[in-house]
Chains A and B, each alone.
Chain A
Amino acid sequence: MNNSKEKIQTFLSRYIRNQEVKDDTDIFGGGLVNSLFAMQLITFLEKEFSITIENEDLKLDNFRTINAMVKLIGSKV
Protein backbone atom coordinates (compact mmCIF):
# COMPACT_ATOMS: atom_id res chain seq x y z
CA MET A 1 0.00 0.00 0.00
CA ASN A 2 2.80 2.39 0.91
CA ASN A 3 4.47 1.63 -2.39
CA SER A 4 1.27 2.57 -4.20
CA LYS A 5 1.04 5.79 -2.23
CA GLU A 6 4.62 6.70 -3.13
CA LYS A 7 4.03 6.08 -6.82
CA ILE A 8 0.91 8.24 -6.82
CA GLN A 9 2.69 10.90 -4.78
CA THR A 10 5.56 10.98 -7.28
CA PHE A 11 3.11 11.28 -10.17
CA LEU A 12 1.18 14.08 -8.50
CA SER A 13 4.32 15.99 -7.59
CA ARG A 14 5.01 16.61 -11.26
CA TYR A 15 1.67 18.38 -11.64
CA ILE A 16 1.16 20.01 -8.30
CA ARG A 17 4.17 22.08 -7.37
CA ASN A 18 4.83 24.32 -4.42
CA GLN A 19 2.26 22.51 -2.35
CA GLU A 20 2.55 19.34 -0.32
CA VAL A 21 -0.01 16.73 -1.28
CA LYS A 22 -0.79 14.59 1.75
CA ASP A 23 -2.57 11.27 1.68
CA ASP A 24 -5.88 12.98 2.39
CA THR A 25 -5.43 16.22 0.40
CA ASP A 26 -8.38 16.89 -1.91
CA ILE A 27 -6.62 17.43 -5.26
CA PHE A 28 -9.81 18.31 -7.12
CA GLY A 29 -11.38 20.50 -4.46
CA GLY A 30 -8.59 23.03 -4.33
CA GLY A 31 -8.43 23.81 -8.02
CA LEU A 32 -4.95 22.27 -8.12
CA VAL A 33 -5.39 20.46 -11.43
CA ASN A 34 -7.03 20.81 -14.86
CA SER A 35 -9.04 18.52 -17.11
CA LEU A 36 -6.08 17.15 -19.05
CA PHE A 37 -4.45 16.23 -15.76
CA ALA A 38 -7.52 14.23 -14.81
CA MET A 39 -7.25 12.24 -18.02
CA GLN A 40 -3.53 11.71 -17.48
CA LEU A 41 -4.27 10.53 -13.94
CA ILE A 42 -6.62 7.85 -15.24
CA THR A 43 -4.01 6.76 -17.80
CA PHE A 44 -1.33 6.68 -15.10
CA LEU A 45 -3.40 4.58 -12.71
CA GLU A 46 -4.35 2.13 -15.44
CA LYS A 47 -0.82 1.57 -16.64
CA GLU A 48 1.10 1.78 -13.37
CA PHE A 49 -1.18 -0.59 -11.49
CA SER A 50 -2.38 -2.73 -14.42
CA ILE A 51 -6.02 -1.97 -13.75
CA THR A 52 -8.88 -0.77 -15.92
CA ILE A 53 -10.91 2.24 -14.82
CA GLU A 54 -14.47 1.59 -15.92
CA ASN A 55 -17.79 3.33 -16.17
CA GLU A 56 -18.84 2.33 -12.65
CA ASP A 57 -15.61 3.76 -11.18
CA LEU A 58 -16.47 7.27 -12.34
CA LYS A 59 -17.03 8.85 -8.95
CA LEU A 60 -14.96 11.84 -7.94
CA ASP A 61 -14.53 10.35 -4.48
CA ASN A 62 -12.49 7.53 -6.07
CA PHE A 63 -9.87 10.01 -7.26
CA ARG A 64 -10.11 12.87 -4.78
CA THR A 65 -7.21 11.85 -2.51
CA ILE A 66 -4.24 9.52 -2.55
CA ASN A 67 -5.99 7.37 0.04
CA ALA A 68 -9.07 7.07 -2.18
CA MET A 69 -6.99 6.07 -5.20
CA VAL A 70 -5.14 3.43 -3.21
CA LYS A 71 -8.49 2.05 -2.06
CA LEU A 72 -9.76 1.96 -5.66
CA ILE A 73 -6.62 0.15 -6.81
CA GLY A 74 -6.96 -2.31 -3.94
CA SER A 75 -10.52 -3.10 -4.98
CA LYS A 76 -9.34 -4.10 -8.45
CA VAL A 77 -6.26 -6.23 -7.79
Chain B
Amino acid sequence: MDIKLSEQQKTDQASFREFVGNEVIPNANRYDREARLPDDIIAKMASRGYLGAVLPEEYGGRGMDFLTYGLLNEELGRGCASVRGFMMMQNMVALTLLKWGSQEQKERWLGKIASGETIAAFALTEPEFGSDAMHIETTFEEADDSAFIVKGHKKWITLGQIADLFLVFGKRRGKLSAVLVEKGSPGFTQTPMEGVLGVRASMLAELHFDNCSVPQDNIVGKVGFGFVPVGITALNLGRYSIAWGCVGIGQACLDACVNHVSTRKQFGDLLKNHQLIQAMIADMTVNLKAGRLLCYQAGQMQEEGDQNAIMEIMVAKYFTSKMAFNIANDAVQIHGAIGCSSDHPVQRHLRDAKIMEIIEGTSQIHQIKIADYAYREYAD
Protein backbone atom coordinates (compact mmCIF):
# COMPACT_ATOMS: atom_id res chain seq x y z
CA MET B 1 0.00 0.00 0.00
CA ASP B 2 1.41 3.35 -1.06
CA ILE B 3 0.64 5.90 1.63
CA LYS B 4 2.74 8.76 0.39
CA LEU B 5 0.87 12.01 0.46
CA SER B 6 0.61 14.07 -2.71
CA GLU B 7 2.06 17.56 -2.77
CA GLN B 8 -1.48 18.96 -2.57
CA GLN B 9 -2.24 16.80 0.46
CA LYS B 10 0.94 17.96 2.15
CA THR B 11 0.02 21.58 1.42
CA ASP B 12 -3.47 21.05 2.81
CA GLN B 13 -2.07 19.31 5.88
CA ALA B 14 0.23 22.25 6.58
CA SER B 15 -2.70 24.62 6.18
CA PHE B 16 -4.85 22.58 8.60
CA ARG B 17 -1.98 22.49 11.09
CA GLU B 18 -1.50 26.22 10.93
CA PHE B 19 -5.23 26.84 11.45
CA VAL B 20 -5.33 24.54 14.46
CA GLY B 21 -2.20 26.08 15.95
CA ASN B 22 -3.46 29.62 15.55
CA GLU B 23 -7.20 29.33 16.05
CA VAL B 24 -8.05 26.14 17.94
CA ILE B 25 -5.35 25.18 20.44
CA PRO B 26 -5.16 28.59 22.14
CA ASN B 27 -8.92 28.46 22.82
CA ALA B 28 -9.67 24.77 23.31
CA ASN B 29 -9.49 24.70 27.11
CA ARG B 30 -11.86 27.67 27.20
CA TYR B 31 -14.34 25.93 24.89
CA ASP B 32 -14.18 22.96 27.25
CA ARG B 33 -14.74 25.06 30.37
CA GLU B 34 -17.57 27.07 28.81
CA ALA B 35 -19.06 23.94 27.20
CA ARG B 36 -19.72 25.93 24.06
CA LEU B 37 -18.17 26.72 20.69
CA PRO B 38 -18.38 30.42 19.84
CA ASP B 39 -19.71 31.57 16.49
CA ASP B 40 -16.32 32.82 15.33
CA ILE B 41 -14.64 29.40 15.24
CA ILE B 42 -17.61 28.01 13.31
CA ALA B 43 -17.39 30.90 10.83
CA LYS B 44 -13.65 30.40 10.41
CA MET B 45 -14.12 26.72 9.66
CA ALA B 46 -16.87 27.54 7.19
CA SER B 47 -14.73 30.14 5.41
CA ARG B 48 -12.01 27.52 4.89
CA GLY B 49 -14.46 25.03 3.45
CA TYR B 50 -14.18 22.59 6.33
CA LEU B 51 -17.92 22.33 6.96
CA GLY B 52 -18.49 21.07 3.44
CA ALA B 53 -15.14 19.32 3.18
CA VAL B 54 -16.47 16.19 1.46
CA LEU B 55 -19.06 17.94 -0.70
CA PRO B 56 -18.35 18.69 -4.35
CA GLU B 57 -17.74 22.31 -5.32
CA GLU B 58 -21.11 22.55 -7.11
CA TYR B 59 -22.72 22.43 -3.64
CA GLY B 60 -20.29 24.84 -2.07
CA GLY B 61 -18.00 22.13 -0.79
CA ARG B 62 -14.30 21.69 -0.94
CA GLY B 63 -14.33 18.32 -2.68
CA MET B 64 -11.70 16.75 -0.46
CA ASP B 65 -10.60 13.19 -1.09
CA PHE B 66 -10.94 10.89 1.92
CA LEU B 67 -7.27 10.98 2.86
CA THR B 68 -7.24 14.76 2.92
CA TYR B 69 -10.44 14.74 4.96
CA GLY B 70 -8.69 12.34 7.35
CA LEU B 71 -5.76 14.70 7.71
CA LEU B 72 -8.18 17.51 8.52
CA ASN B 73 -9.69 15.37 11.26
CA GLU B 74 -6.29 14.51 12.69
CA GLU B 75 -5.29 18.12 12.92
CA LEU B 76 -8.59 19.35 14.37
CA GLY B 77 -8.55 16.39 16.76
CA ARG B 78 -5.07 17.38 17.86
CA GLY B 79 -6.49 20.73 18.88
CA CYS B 80 -9.98 20.10 20.20
CA ALA B 81 -12.34 17.14 19.95
CA SER B 82 -15.38 19.41 20.16
CA VAL B 83 -14.26 21.52 17.21
CA ARG B 84 -13.49 18.39 15.22
CA GLY B 85 -16.85 16.93 16.20
CA PHE B 86 -18.67 20.02 14.94
CA MET B 87 -16.94 19.73 11.57
CA MET B 88 -17.58 15.99 11.47
CA MET B 89 -21.28 16.37 12.12
CA GLN B 90 -21.76 18.83 9.25
CA ASN B 91 -20.00 16.49 6.87
CA MET B 92 -21.88 13.42 8.12
CA VAL B 93 -25.26 14.97 7.38
CA ALA B 94 -24.07 16.66 4.19
CA LEU B 95 -22.58 13.49 2.70
CA THR B 96 -25.70 11.53 3.59
CA LEU B 97 -27.94 14.07 1.87
CA LEU B 98 -25.59 14.17 -1.12
CA LYS B 99 -25.83 10.42 -1.53
CA TRP B 100 -29.40 9.66 -0.54
CA GLY B 101 -31.29 12.96 -0.44
CA SER B 102 -33.72 14.12 -3.11
CA GLN B 103 -32.54 16.70 -5.62
CA GLU B 104 -34.68 19.28 -3.84
CA GLN B 105 -33.10 18.43 -0.47
CA LYS B 106 -29.60 18.71 -1.92
CA GLU B 107 -30.29 22.05 -3.54
CA ARG B 108 -31.98 23.42 -0.46
CA TRP B 109 -29.55 22.33 2.24
CA LEU B 110 -26.06 21.40 1.07
CA GLY B 111 -24.86 24.90 0.26
CA LYS B 112 -26.22 26.18 3.55
CA ILE B 113 -24.48 23.47 5.55
CA ALA B 114 -21.19 24.09 3.76
CA SER B 115 -21.40 27.82 4.42
CA GLY B 116 -22.35 27.42 8.07
CA GLU B 117 -25.68 29.16 7.51
CA THR B 118 -27.43 25.94 8.55
CA ILE B 119 -26.05 23.82 11.38
CA ALA B 120 -26.92 20.15 10.95
CA ALA B 121 -27.22 17.32 13.48
CA PHE B 122 -27.75 13.56 13.48
CA ALA B 123 -30.50 12.30 15.78
CA LEU B 124 -30.52 8.53 16.27
CA THR B 125 -29.92 7.80 19.97
CA GLU B 126 -32.83 7.69 22.41
CA PRO B 127 -33.00 7.49 26.21
CA GLU B 128 -33.54 3.72 26.11
CA PHE B 129 -31.79 2.79 22.86
CA GLY B 130 -28.19 3.52 21.91
CA SER B 131 -26.29 0.53 20.51
CA ASP B 132 -29.59 -1.26 19.94
CA ALA B 133 -30.56 1.19 17.24
CA MET B 134 -32.95 -1.16 15.48
CA HIS B 135 -35.37 -0.84 18.39
CA ILE B 136 -35.70 2.93 18.57
CA GLU B 137 -39.21 4.03 19.44
CA THR B 138 -39.62 7.31 17.57
CA THR B 139 -42.40 6.99 15.02
CA PHE B 140 -43.41 8.73 11.80
CA GLU B 141 -47.15 8.49 11.38
CA GLU B 142 -48.79 9.54 8.17
CA ALA B 143 -51.04 12.53 8.85
CA ASP B 144 -52.23 13.01 5.29
CA ASP B 145 -50.77 12.83 1.78
CA SER B 146 -48.34 15.63 2.50
CA ALA B 147 -47.13 15.26 6.10
CA PHE B 148 -45.69 12.90 8.73
CA ILE B 149 -46.35 13.24 12.43
CA VAL B 150 -43.13 12.62 14.38
CA LYS B 151 -43.52 11.31 17.94
CA GLY B 152 -40.58 10.48 20.15
CA HIS B 153 -37.65 11.49 22.29
CA LYS B 154 -33.96 11.68 21.34
CA LYS B 155 -31.08 12.10 23.78
CA TRP B 156 -27.33 12.85 23.73
CA ILE B 157 -27.66 14.61 20.38
CA THR B 158 -24.45 16.41 19.40
CA LEU B 159 -25.09 20.09 18.56
CA GLY B 160 -28.70 19.55 19.56
CA GLN B 161 -28.71 22.90 21.38
CA ILE B 162 -27.89 24.97 18.31
CA ALA B 163 -28.63 22.92 15.21
CA ASP B 164 -31.12 24.17 12.64
CA LEU B 165 -31.63 20.91 10.78
CA PHE B 166 -31.87 17.39 12.18
CA LEU B 167 -31.59 14.07 10.40
CA VAL B 168 -33.99 12.16 12.61
CA PHE B 169 -34.38 8.38 12.67
CA GLY B 170 -37.62 6.64 13.50
CA LYS B 171 -40.05 4.03 12.30
CA ARG B 172 -42.72 4.30 9.66
CA ARG B 173 -45.05 1.28 9.92
CA GLY B 174 -42.28 -0.52 11.81
CA LYS B 175 -39.61 0.20 9.18
CA LEU B 176 -36.57 2.28 10.10
CA SER B 177 -36.63 5.53 8.17
CA ALA B 178 -35.05 8.98 8.25
CA VAL B 179 -36.58 12.43 7.93
CA LEU B 180 -35.32 15.99 8.08
CA VAL B 181 -36.79 18.10 10.88
CA GLU B 182 -36.19 21.82 10.99
CA LYS B 183 -35.69 23.82 14.15
CA GLY B 184 -38.91 25.57 15.05
CA SER B 185 -41.18 22.91 13.60
CA PRO B 186 -44.46 22.76 15.54
CA GLY B 187 -44.20 20.28 18.41
CA PHE B 188 -40.39 20.13 18.32
CA THR B 189 -38.32 21.28 21.30
CA GLN B 190 -34.58 21.19 22.06
CA THR B 191 -33.52 20.86 25.72
CA PRO B 192 -29.83 21.48 26.54
CA MET B 193 -27.86 18.82 28.45
CA GLU B 194 -25.02 19.76 30.77
CA GLY B 195 -22.25 18.16 32.78
CA VAL B 196 -20.89 15.53 30.41
CA LEU B 197 -17.49 13.91 30.94
CA GLY B 198 -15.82 14.90 27.71
CA VAL B 199 -16.17 16.65 24.36
CA ARG B 200 -17.94 19.20 26.54
CA ALA B 201 -18.41 21.83 23.85
CA SER B 202 -20.59 19.47 21.82
CA MET B 203 -23.67 21.33 23.01
CA LEU B 204 -25.67 18.14 23.56
CA ALA B 205 -29.44 18.25 23.81
CA GLU B 206 -32.50 16.15 24.26
CA LEU B 207 -35.03 16.46 21.46
CA HIS B 208 -38.75 16.07 22.02
CA PHE B 209 -41.13 15.47 19.15
CA ASP B 210 -44.66 15.96 20.39
CA ASN B 211 -46.86 15.35 17.37
CA CYS B 212 -44.36 17.26 15.26
CA SER B 213 -45.58 17.69 11.70
CA VAL B 214 -43.02 17.48 8.90
CA PRO B 215 -43.61 17.37 5.13
CA GLN B 216 -43.48 13.92 3.55
CA ASP B 217 -40.95 15.34 1.12
CA ASN B 218 -38.54 15.48 4.08
CA ILE B 219 -38.01 11.73 4.02
CA VAL B 220 -34.37 10.95 3.22
CA GLY B 221 -33.89 7.91 1.02
CA LYS B 222 -37.02 5.78 1.21
CA VAL B 223 -39.22 4.43 3.98
CA GLY B 224 -37.50 1.32 5.34
CA PHE B 225 -34.03 2.41 4.24
CA GLY B 226 -33.33 4.66 7.19
CA PHE B 227 -30.53 2.68 8.78
CA VAL B 228 -29.15 1.05 5.65
CA PRO B 229 -28.02 2.88 3.67
CA VAL B 230 -28.91 6.33 5.06
CA GLY B 231 -27.76 5.99 8.68
CA ILE B 232 -24.79 3.78 7.87
CA THR B 233 -23.52 6.31 5.33
CA ALA B 234 -23.41 8.94 8.06
CA LEU B 235 -22.01 6.63 10.73
CA ASN B 236 -19.30 5.33 8.41
CA LEU B 237 -18.01 8.84 7.80
CA GLY B 238 -18.38 9.59 11.51
CA ARG B 239 -16.28 6.58 12.48
CA TYR B 240 -13.63 7.51 9.95
CA SER B 241 -13.56 11.06 11.33
CA ILE B 242 -13.29 9.80 14.90
CA ALA B 243 -10.50 7.37 14.03
CA TRP B 244 -8.40 10.17 12.60
CA GLY B 245 -9.41 12.50 15.42
CA CYS B 246 -8.10 9.94 17.91
CA VAL B 247 -4.77 9.94 16.08
CA GLY B 248 -4.82 13.70 16.64
CA ILE B 249 -5.51 13.25 20.36
CA GLY B 250 -2.66 10.76 20.60
CA GLN B 251 -0.27 13.06 18.76
CA ALA B 252 -1.20 16.02 20.97
CA CYS B 253 -0.54 13.96 24.10
CA LEU B 254 2.75 12.55 22.79
CA ASP B 255 3.93 16.02 21.78
CA ALA B 256 3.08 17.34 25.25
CA CYS B 257 4.86 14.44 26.93
CA VAL B 258 8.03 14.72 24.86
CA ASN B 259 8.20 18.41 25.67
CA HIS B 260 7.50 17.85 29.37
CA VAL B 261 9.98 15.01 29.94
CA SER B 262 12.68 16.91 28.06
CA THR B 263 12.52 19.88 30.42
CA ARG B 264 11.44 18.55 33.82
CA LYS B 265 13.96 17.07 36.25
CA GLN B 266 13.33 14.65 39.11
CA PHE B 267 15.96 12.88 41.19
CA GLY B 268 18.59 15.08 39.55
CA ASP B 269 17.91 13.95 36.00
CA LEU B 270 15.52 14.81 33.20
CA LEU B 271 12.39 12.66 33.17
CA LYS B 272 13.25 11.55 29.62
CA ASN B 273 16.19 9.60 30.96
CA HIS B 274 14.14 7.50 33.36
CA GLN B 275 13.46 4.10 31.85
CA LEU B 276 9.88 3.82 33.08
CA ILE B 277 9.14 7.09 31.28
CA GLN B 278 10.90 5.78 28.17
CA ALA B 279 8.68 2.70 28.24
CA MET B 280 5.53 4.84 28.18
CA ILE B 281 6.88 7.12 25.44
CA ALA B 282 7.84 4.09 23.35
CA ASP B 283 4.39 2.52 23.66
CA MET B 284 2.71 5.82 22.81
CA THR B 285 4.88 6.19 19.73
CA VAL B 286 4.37 2.66 18.43
CA ASN B 287 0.62 2.63 18.97
CA LEU B 288 0.21 6.06 17.43
CA LYS B 289 2.08 4.99 14.33
CA ALA B 290 0.01 1.81 14.09
CA GLY B 291 -3.24 3.75 14.48
CA ARG B 292 -2.28 6.27 11.83
CA LEU B 293 -1.45 3.47 9.39
CA LEU B 294 -4.86 1.87 9.97
CA CYS B 295 -6.46 5.23 9.20
CA TYR B 296 -4.42 5.67 6.03
CA GLN B 297 -5.41 2.20 4.86
CA ALA B 298 -9.09 2.72 5.64
CA GLY B 299 -9.07 6.10 3.91
CA GLN B 300 -7.45 4.74 0.80
CA MET B 301 -9.94 1.86 0.64
CA GLN B 302 -12.87 4.25 1.10
CA GLU B 303 -11.51 6.48 -1.66
CA GLU B 304 -11.26 3.48 -3.98
CA GLY B 305 -14.81 2.33 -3.19
CA ASP B 306 -13.57 -0.93 -1.70
CA GLN B 307 -16.41 -3.01 -0.27
CA ASN B 308 -14.36 -3.73 2.86
CA ALA B 309 -13.67 -0.07 3.59
CA ILE B 310 -16.61 0.09 5.99
CA MET B 311 -15.04 -2.74 8.03
CA GLU B 312 -11.52 -1.34 7.91
CA ILE B 313 -12.92 1.95 9.17
CA MET B 314 -14.44 0.06 12.10
CA VAL B 315 -11.07 -1.61 12.73
CA ALA B 316 -9.36 1.79 12.69
CA LYS B 317 -11.95 3.43 14.94
CA TYR B 318 -11.85 0.59 17.45
CA PHE B 319 -8.06 0.59 17.64
CA THR B 320 -7.48 4.34 17.67
CA SER B 321 -10.15 5.12 20.25
CA LYS B 322 -8.57 2.66 22.69
CA MET B 323 -5.15 3.94 21.70
CA ALA B 324 -6.11 7.57 22.30
CA PHE B 325 -7.50 6.77 25.74
CA ASN B 326 -4.40 4.81 26.73
CA ILE B 327 -2.03 7.47 25.44
CA ALA B 328 -3.96 10.25 27.15
CA ASN B 329 -4.06 8.23 30.35
CA ASP B 330 -0.26 7.83 30.27
CA ALA B 331 0.12 11.48 29.34
CA VAL B 332 -1.71 12.55 32.49
CA GLN B 333 0.41 10.11 34.49
CA ILE B 334 3.65 11.51 33.08
CA HIS B 335 2.55 15.08 33.77
CA GLY B 336 1.48 14.24 37.33
CA ALA B 337 -0.37 17.01 39.14
CA ILE B 338 0.33 19.41 36.27
CA GLY B 339 -1.62 17.16 33.93
CA CYS B 340 -4.62 17.15 36.24
CA SER B 341 -5.03 20.91 36.03
CA SER B 342 -7.85 22.31 33.92
CA ASP B 343 -5.23 24.64 32.43
CA HIS B 344 -3.42 21.70 30.85
CA PRO B 345 -4.79 20.04 27.71
CA VAL B 346 -3.88 16.44 28.57
CA GLN B 347 -6.68 16.12 31.12
CA ARG B 348 -9.13 17.36 28.46
CA HIS B 349 -7.73 14.90 25.95
CA LEU B 350 -8.20 12.07 28.46
CA ARG B 351 -11.85 12.94 29.03
CA ASP B 352 -12.44 13.44 25.31
CA ALA B 353 -10.72 10.16 24.42
CA LYS B 354 -13.06 8.21 26.68
CA ILE B 355 -16.04 9.53 24.70
CA MET B 356 -14.46 8.25 21.48
CA GLU B 357 -14.77 4.68 22.77
CA ILE B 358 -18.53 5.18 23.07
CA ILE B 359 -19.84 7.35 20.24
CA GLU B 360 -20.64 6.21 16.70
CA GLY B 361 -20.66 2.63 17.97
CA THR B 362 -19.17 1.48 21.25
CA SER B 363 -15.94 -0.51 21.33
CA GLN B 364 -17.99 -3.58 22.20
CA ILE B 365 -20.25 -3.23 19.15
CA HIS B 366 -17.09 -2.77 17.07
CA GLN B 367 -15.60 -5.96 18.52
CA ILE B 368 -18.69 -7.96 17.54
CA LYS B 369 -18.60 -6.66 13.97
CA ILE B 370 -14.84 -7.06 13.65
CA ALA B 371 -15.08 -10.66 14.84
CA ASP B 372 -17.71 -11.33 12.15
CA TYR B 373 -15.36 -9.75 9.63
CA ALA B 374 -12.50 -11.99 10.76
CA TYR B 375 -14.65 -15.14 10.55
CA ARG B 376 -15.42 -14.22 6.94
CA GLU B 377 -12.02 -12.98 5.83
CA TYR B 378 -9.91 -15.70 7.40
CA ALA B 379 -12.16 -18.71 6.93
CA ASP B 380 -10.77 -21.56 4.84
Question: Which of A11, A15, A38 has the most chain B CB atoms inside 10 A of its CB?
Answer: A38
Partner pick for A47 among B221, B233, B306, B379, CB 8 A cutoff: B306
- Residues 175-230 of B contacting A (Cβ, < 8 Å): 221-222, 224-225, 227-229
Specify which chain A residues have a CB less than 8 angstroms from the CB of B100 in the assembled complex. 55, 58
Query: A40-77 CB contact bits vs B (8 Å, 1 = yes)?
Result: 11111011000001010011100000000000000000
B379 lies within 8 A of A17 (CB): yes
Whether A43 touches B306, Cβ cut-off 8 Å, given contacts A55-B100, A58-B222, is yes
For the complex, give the distance between the alpha carbons of A41 and B305 in Å: 11
Q: How far is the CB of A62 from chain B (nearest CB, A)?
A: 11
Specify which chain A residues have a CB less than 8 angstroms from the CB of B376 in the assembled complex. 14-15
Whether A58 touches B221, Cβ cut-off 8 Å, given contacts A14-B376, A39-B228, is yes
CB of B333 within 8 Å of the partner chain: no
Specify which chain B residues have a CB less than 8 angstroms from the CB of A17 in the assembled complex. 379
Q: Which A residues have a C-beta under 8 Å from some C-beta of B?
A: 11, 14-15, 17, 34-36, 38-44, 46-47, 53, 55, 58-60
One of B112-120, B152-160, B247-255, B307-315 contacting the partner: B307-315
A-B contact pairs, 7 of them (CB 8 A): A15-B376, A35-B228, A39-B310, A40-B310, A55-B100, A58-B221, A58-B229
Partner pick for A40 among B221, B222, B233, B308, CB 8 A cutoff: B308
- Residues 298-320 of B contacting A (Cβ, < 8 Å): 304-311
A35 lies within 8 A of B227 (CB): yes
A43 lies within 8 A of B224 (CB): no
Whether A55 touches B228, Cβ cut-off 8 Å, given contacts A40-B307, A43-B307, A47-B307, is no
8 other contacts beyond A47-B304, A53-B229, with CB at 8 A cut-off? A35-B228, A35-B232, A44-B307, A55-B100, A55-B102, A58-B222, A58-B225, A59-B222
CB-nearest residue of chain B relative to A11?
Answer: B307
A60 lies within 8 A of B224 (CB): yes
Chain B contributes a number of interface residues (CB within 8 A of A) equal to 25
Specify which chain B residues have a CB less than 8 angstroms from the CB of A46 in the assembled complex. 305
For the complex, give the distance between the alpha carbons of A59 and B229 in Å: 11
Q: How far is the CB of A33 from chain B (nearest CB, A)?
A: 10
Specify which chain B residues have a CB less than 8 angstroms from the CB of A55 in the assembled complex. 100-102, 221-222
Majority-rule SS of A interface residues:
helix
CB of B9 within 8 Å of the partner chain: no
For the complex, give the distance between the alpha carbons of A58 and B102 in Å: 12
CB of B285 within 8 Å of the partner chain: no
Q: How far is the CB of B271 from chain A (nearest CB, A)?
A: 45
CB-nearest residue of chain B relative to A15?
Answer: B376
For the complex, give the distance between the alpha carbons of A43 and B225 in Å: 15
CB of B27 within 8 Å of the partner chain: no
CB-nearest residue of chain B relative to A39?
Answer: B232
B311 lies within 8 A of A36 (CB): yes
Q: How far is the CB of A73 from chain B (nearest CB, A)?
A: 15
Specify which chain B residues have a CB less than 8 angstroms from the CB of A44 in the assembled complex. 307
For the complex, give the distance between the alpha carbons of A34 and B305 in Å: 20
B305 lies within 8 A of A43 (CB): yes
CB of B236 within 8 Å of the partner chain: yes
Partner pick for A36 among B232, B233, B305, B306, CB 8 A cutoff: B232
B305 lies within 8 A of A47 (CB): yes
B229 lies within 8 A of A38 (CB): yes
Q: How far is the CB of A57 from chain B (nearest CB, A)?
A: 9
